[in-house]
């Protein structure tokens, strides 16, 4: 998360929450201690991440 946070100029907790939202939406697979990967494309989207939930300062 440190690399992601530094790349986008956000705090570690913000980066962690963003990845958690992507995991929740089924867009990313993540496990503790393992690099997050893009999930296989689902046949139909299971949920969406509202733009108001994720913002980018920059």
Delimit the domains of the chain by residue range: 2-38
Q: Which residues contact 27 (CB under 8 A, 6 or more apart)?
A: 38, 39, 49
pLDDT at 42 over 70: no
Maximal CA-CA distance, the chain: 34
* Cα–Cα nearest to 27, from 48, 8, 12, 13: 48
Q: How much is the pLDDT for 6?
A: 96
28, 40 Cβ separation under 8 angstroms: no
State pTM to two decimals: 0.61
């Amino acid at each position: 998360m440190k690399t992601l946070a530094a790349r986008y100029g956000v705090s570690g907790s913000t980066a962690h929450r963003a990845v958690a939202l992507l995991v929740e939406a089924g867009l990313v697979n993540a496990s503790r201690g393992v690099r997050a990967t893009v999930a296989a494309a689902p046949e139909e989207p299971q949920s969406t991440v509202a733009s108001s939930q994720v913002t980018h300062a920059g």
